[in-house]
Chains A and B, each alone.
Chain A
Amino acid sequence: MSAVSQGAKPYYYVPQPSHWPITGSLALLLMGLGAAFWFNHYAAGPWILLAGFCVLLVMLFGWFGTVIRESEGHLYNKKVDLSFRWSMSWFIFSEVMFFAAFFGALFYVRNISVPDLGSALTGRELWPNFSAQWPTVGPYIKQQFSPMSAIGIPLLNTILLVTSGGTLTIAHHALKSGHRGALKFWLFVTIVLGFTFLGFQAYEYHHAYTEANLKLSTGVYGSTFFMLTGFHGAHVTIGAIMLTVMLVRAFRGHFDAEHHFAFEAAAWYWHFVDVVWLLLFVLVYWL
């Protein structure tokens, strides 16, 4: 950009041409193709998917690496920083809407479709033996299972995640007041809590499949349970990876008291994941 080359701080940093986007597009194309082939029983499918995923990883490393270099090179002024803030907020809003679709589905099956299947009209005509209660595998699937209870691992996980939100906030304050040691420590604790959460969730899934006979295919209860908690778990994973990157960057001496939006973005994301969990805990496990 001309303004950059004039030496002065640019009014607004506009990056140079980049091949990372097209690399990312190639990755998604391969992944889409690979998954479609895989799900339709073509042997090449998983390999194409894997190839796409590798390209995606390369792209993520390359692209984020560039962004970090630009950031550390102080190319981002206040205005750019504000752009990042707006965009991260809107991105989280889009994530909220993604979860809303699944929470909406849960609401719908619990309050509309399951009662309807047991209603005087549909129930009597088609499913005379079905009693509409929640949880259910539906009127046709014959399967015994034990639903998840809220106390036990879910409660423990709630405590873990809420605590991690707290430790992350401590880390943030430490960063703002220049206590880098405390920053690293509390960030590390947060990450450990996050991965512990994931470990418990993996254990819970294992328990569900082996002992509770609760599977993804266990009617609409299994569907909503695993899809909601599964997507949440995926988000925790991504959030934990983001925080790990932040930890690495903290060790490398990145961030200062004013200039650390990457850290804040990861923190916002983490809090968002936290709130989703609270909703899950209440709506999926408890009620």
Chain B
Amino acid sequence: MSSITQPVGGHGHGHDEHAHHPTGIMRWVTTTNHKDIGTLYLWFSFTMFIVGGIMALTIRAELFEPGMQILAPERFNQMTTLHGLIMIFGALMPGAVGFANWMIPMQIGAPDMAFARMNNWSFWLLPPAAILLVLSLFVPGGAAETGWTLYPPLSIQSGMGMDLTIFAIHIMGASSIMGSINIITTILNLRAPGMTLMKMPVFCWAWLITAYLLIAVMPVLAGAVTMLLTDRHFGTSFFNAAGGGDPVLFQHVFWFFGHPEVYIIILPAFGIISEVIPAFSRKPVFGYASMVYALSAIAILSFLVWAHHMFTTGLPAAGILFYMYATMLIAVPTGVKVFNWLATMWKGSISLEAPMMFALGFLFLFTTGGFTGLILAIQPVDVQFQDTYYVVAHFHYVMVAGTLFAFFAGIYYWLPKWSGKMYNETVAQWHFWLSFIFFNVTFFPMHFLGLAGMPRRVPDYAQQFTDWNQVATIGAFGFGLSQLVFLYAVVSAIRSGKPAPAKPWDGATSLEWTLPSPAPYHSFETPPVVK
């Protein structure tokens, strides 16, 4: 964003909280404040990250050696399923909404989200969903053991855990749809005077498009799992050949949701990176307009590529070619983004604080994951890779080193604004380097495992896969422990960090930096004027 901004009217009328504002826990339960809700989302996300992470470590521990050690096979499958679902729906998506809640009103000069009360509900739907998911582990038959993709007929066989999962997905879907409607409305309707769409920070653009994708595909997922539910309990035959249906129909509906979903996971991260890189290069983002067009192109293309997850189901050749070409095309707008970020850095005045380090780590590793995605898009090659650890490597590169690293970048970047305290740079640098190294130790070997032919979702493997699995397991524990450093960095900053100035990063330009740190409870009750 290249405009000069000038807040009009006192931002921060001080903290004139109302007399009847609840305090203690009820403050958080009933709050209609976008900042409180953003905080709730972020802590929820981190909690789920730990829960899903512990499941991942259980998986990795079982896979340390060939043979069955700590889990029965059906428990292993449940761990895989819940790990995937919890990480995606519990950690990454709510995390991104947390950023949206905190930043969008401040970046566009709005007093709050458009629907502050509904905003509260969007958040408070998540804990019930999480309870249903985690509870499913303890019902007879255990959690869903189908992988996060819930393919029938396997999911028809599952026990009660599958029903709990289905309802959890319904609830999370409702949460996402309401959250997205809120975000879109806020962006379209509550921009400060002068804040035209093409002056908005790229982060807001990224979320605008993400929210659109969410509204388009979450209902489709709801439809898919509803059909699953009626096939399971009410005798419908959507996914049953005996009655004229087709198990593959589920895959089509699921991936019509699922592929846009992966961009839902990455676009907010692109947004964060597009804020951080200019700030630490002390230059405006390069090619603002093409950044926006690229985001839109990715969103549109994402509806046309879903069957690349179904390359081995036996689609006709014409279908395969269509989905292969369309998938490959996504490399073009994504490439535009990568090149624009590079051009933003080019001839800048770069400094390497923790947010920038994570942004660079993102760039490096996300692109690696993008390239493996492109390799998977080549259908003949995917025939060898589909359902192997190569795919597991691909998506952890884009989701962990992509989205998660972007979140870390965003947290270090905005923590001073949120908490009014600076984090400790040394601790944060340790967090980065440990995460970066252990991430690669964990996931890089998975490419080799996939190439050599190790299927995913197996609790046990042939002996030639032992060595890389051991490396990966060691890396996973290292990566997990590195996150304790993160927890320490954040908690110690909040409790005893140095007070942060209003604008700790000299290269930052967007509206939130015109507010004091910490940002007042109510910001921009009268809109600033953006020139």
Among B115, B217, B237, the residue within 8 A (CB) of A83 is B115
Tell me the B161-194 residues at the A interface (CB within 8 Å).
163-164, 167-168, 170-171, 174, 177, 180-182, 184-185, 188-190
Q: Is the CB of B189 within 8 A of A82?
A: yes
Contact bitstring A78-116, B, C-beta under 8 A = 1, else 0: 010011001100110111011011101100110011101
Interface residues of A in 4-41 (CB under 8 A from B): 5, 10-12, 14-22, 24-26, 28-29, 31-33, 35-37, 39-40
Contact A138 B244 (CB under 8 A): yes
**Distance in angstroms between the alpha carbons of A197 and B32 in the assembled complex:** 40
With contacts A32-B171, A35-B163, A223-B230 taken as known, whether A97 is within 8 angstroms of B522 at the C-beta atoms is: no
Specify the chain A residue showing the minimal Cβ separation from B162: A36
Complex CA distance for A17 and B26, rounded to whole angstroms: 9
Chain B positions within 8 Å of A239 at CB level: none
A267 proximal to B (CB < 8 A):
no
CA distance A39 to B159 in the complex (A): 10
Interface digits, B214-244 against A, CB 8 Å rule (1 contact, 0 not)? 0111111011101101111111111011111
B27 touches A97 (CB 8 A): no
Is there an interface contact between B159 and A138, defined as CB atoms closer than 8 Å? no
Contact of B215 among A14, A15, A19, A93 (CB under 8 A): A93
Which residue of A11, A17, A25 is within 8 Å of B125 (Cβ)?
Answer: A25
Contact with B along A212-241 (1 / 0, CB 8 A): 000111011111101100000000000000
**Stretch of B116-124, B337-345, B461-469 lying at the A interface:** B116-124
B128: interface (CB < 8 Å): yes
Chain B CB within 8 A of A1 CB: yes
CB of B240 within 8 A of CB of A101, answer no
Q: Are B18 and A16 in contact (CB under 8 A)?
A: yes
Query: Given that A29-B132, A141-B237 are contacting pairs, would A18 and B117 also be in contact in the complex, using a CB cutoff of 8 Å?
Result: yes
Docked-complex contact B32 and A18, CB < 8 angstroms: yes
A242 within 8 A of B: no
- Known contacts A2-B16, A108-B252, A137-B244; A223/B184 CB under 8 A: no
B370 within 8 A of A: no
Is A266 close to B, CB under 8 A?
Answer: no
Task: Label chain B's interface by main secondary structure.
Answer: helix
B244 contacts A114, CB within 8 Å? Answer: yes
Pick from A1, A15, A21, A138: contact of B124, CB under 8 Å: A21
User: A43 — which chain B residues lie within 8 A by C-beta?
Assistant: none
How far is it, in angstroms, between the C-alpha of A90 and the C-alpha of B181 when the chains are bound? 6
B253 at the interface (CB under 8 A from A): yes
Report how far A102 CA is from B236 CA in the complex, Å. 13
The reply on B509 being an interface residue by CB < 8 A is no
* B424 on the A face (CB < 8 A): no
- What's the nearest-Cβ distance from chain A to residue B482, in Å? 34
Which of A37, A83, A108, A117 sits near B189, CB closer than 8 Å? A83
Q: Which residue of the partner chain B has the closest CB to A104?
A: B253
Pick from A29, A216, A223: contact of B245, CB under 8 Å: A223
A130 to B1, CA, bound (A): 63
Task: Say yes or no: is B74 at the interface (Cβ < 8 Å to chain A).
Answer: no
Size category of the B interface is 35 or more
Whether A227 contacts B236 by the Cβ 8 Å rule is: yes
- Give every chain B residue within 8 A of A109 (Cβ-Cβ): 238, 244-246, 249
A70 to chain B, nearest CB (A): 10
**Of B59-67, B106-114, B389-397, B510-518, the one with at least 4 CB within 8 A of chain A:** B106-114
Measured between alpha carbons, how far is A36 from B225 in the docked complex, in Å?
14
CB–CB B30/A19 < 8 A = yes
B495 at the interface (CB under 8 A from A): no
In the complex, what residues of B have CB within 8 A of residue A105's CB?
223, 227, 238, 249, 253
Interface centre among B188, B215, B242, B244 (most CB of A within 10 A): B244
B348 located at the interface, meaning its Cβ lies under 8 Å from any Cβ of chain A in the complex:
no
Asked if A139 is an interface residue, CB under 8 A from chain B, the answer is: yes
B236 and A93 form a contact (CB under 8 A): no
Q: Are B13 and A2 in contact (CB under 8 A)?
A: yes
Min C-beta distance of A13 to chain B, whole Å: 9
- Report whether A32 and B182 are in contact in the complex, using a CB–CB cutoff of 8 Å: no
Taken together as a complex, chains A and B put the C-alpha atoms of A216 and B235 apart, in Å, by 7
Closest to B241 in A: A117
B131: chain A residues at CB < 8 Å are 29
Which residues of B have CB within 8 Å of A29? Answer: 128, 131-132, 171
Residue in chain A with minimal CB distance to B168: A32
In residues 164-215 of chain A, which contact B (Cβ within 8 Å)? Answer: 215
Shortest CB-to-CB span from A51 to chain B, Å, is 14
Partner of A11, one of B117, B224, B227, B526: B526
Report B-chain residues with C-beta under 8 Å of the C-beta of A219: 237, 243-244
Question: Which B-chain residue is minimally distant from A135 (CB atoms)?
Answer: B244
A100/B220 contact (C-beta < 8 A), A39-B233, A105-B249 known: yes
Q: Which of A102-147 contact B (CB under 8 A)?
A: 102, 104-105, 108-109, 112-114, 116-117, 136-141
Shortest CB distance B519–A (Å): 15
Given known A86-B188, A97-B220, A220-B243, contact A18–B120 (CB-CB < 8 A): yes
Q: Provide the bound-state CA to CA distance between A112 and B252, in Å.
A: 12
B347 at the interface (CB under 8 A from A): no
Q: Is A3 an interface residue (CB 8 A)?
A: yes
A93 touches B244 (CB 8 A): no
Cross-chain contact A36 with B167 (CB below 8 angstroms): yes
- Minimum CB–CB distance from A192 to chain B (whole Å) comes to 30
Q: Which residues of B from 424 to 452 have beta carbons under 8 Å from A?
A: none
Task: Let me know if A220 and B116 touch, CB within 8 A.
Answer: no
Cα–Cα distance between A102 and B29 once the two chains are bound (Å): 36
CB of A60 to closest CB in B, whole Å:
12
Q: Do A35 and B167 have beta carbons less than 8 Å apart? A: yes
Report the nearest A residue to B126, measured CB to CB.
A25
Chain B residue at smallest Cβ distance from A16: B32
Tell me, rounded to whole Å, the shortest Cβ–Cβ distance linking B487 to chain A: 27
Residues of B at under 8 Å CB distance from A? Answer: 13, 16, 18, 20-22, 26-27, 29-32, 110-112, 114-118, 120-121, 124-125, 127-128, 131-132, 135, 159-160, 163-164, 167-168, 170-171, 174, 177, 180-182, 184-185, 188-190, 215-220, 222-224, 226-227, 229-238, 240-246, 248-249, 252-253, 256, 522, 525-527
**A–B pairs, 26, beta carbons within 8 Å:** A2-B13, A3-B526, A5-B16, A12-B190, A17-B22, A19-B30, A21-B118, A22-B30, A25-B124, A25-B125, A39-B160, A39-B232, A63-B117, A83-B114, A87-B115, A90-B181, A95-B219, A102-B223, A104-B256, A108-B246, A108-B249, A113-B241, A136-B244, A220-B238, A223-B231, A227-B236
Q: Given A31-B167, A91-B181, 9 other A-B contacts at CB below 8 A?
A: A3-B111, A12-B110, A17-B30, A28-B125, A39-B163, A83-B185, A86-B181, A138-B241, A223-B227
Q: Which 8 A-B pairs have the closest CB atoms?
A: A101-B223, A217-B235, A138-B244, A140-B242, A21-B121, A32-B167, A113-B246, A220-B244
